[in-house]
Amino acid sequence: MTGWTGGQESVGDIAPALAHYTDTVLFDEVWARPELSPRDRSLVTVSALVAIGAVEQLGFHLAFARDNGATEEELVEVITHLAFYTGWPRAMAAIEVARAVFAEKGDSASE
């Protein structure tokens, strides 16, 4: 994946350097590294966001994970498994985000 512009679109007006690093370094470079597939990177990212309770970023990354080949069933299982390691409240909050994202079937992170 190259030519990512999500950072510019979301924060470029107020934080152009953060937008640049998001687009160029994170998505165009890190996400393009061949050692992990985009699907696997998505599963790791979703896991990390659930673990730290970052639900404000989780919606985007659940949709992105689906775009990258993870199924909704796999994502729910990841969240369920994480409940035992990250705590029930974080998993329950993540499931509510997943419910909302999965209800918006027509939407995707890349649209």
Given a cut of 70, whether residue 24 has pLDDT beyond it is yes
What tens digit of pLDDT does each residue of 47-70 get? Answer: 999 999 999 999 999 999 999 999
User: What DSSP character marks residue 32?
Assistant: G
Closest CA to 100 of 62, 65, 57: 62
Closest CA to 75 of 50, 104, 109: 50
Q: Which tokens hold the place of 105?
A: 């079937």
Given a cut of 90, whether residue 111 has pLDDT beyond it is no
**The predicted structure's pLDDT at residue 103:** 97
Given a cut of 70, whether residue 14 has pLDDT beyond it is yes
Ranges of CATH 1.20.1290.10 domains, the chain: 37-111
Q: Over the chain, what is the mean pLDDT?
A: 93
Q: Determine the Cα–Cα distance for residues 97 and 66; give it in Å rounded to an integer.
A: 14
Name the CATH architecture for the domain at 37-111.
Answer: Up-down Bundle (1.20)
Q: Determine the Cα–Cα distance for residues 1 and 74; give it in Å rounded to an integer.
A: 23
pTM of the model: 0.89
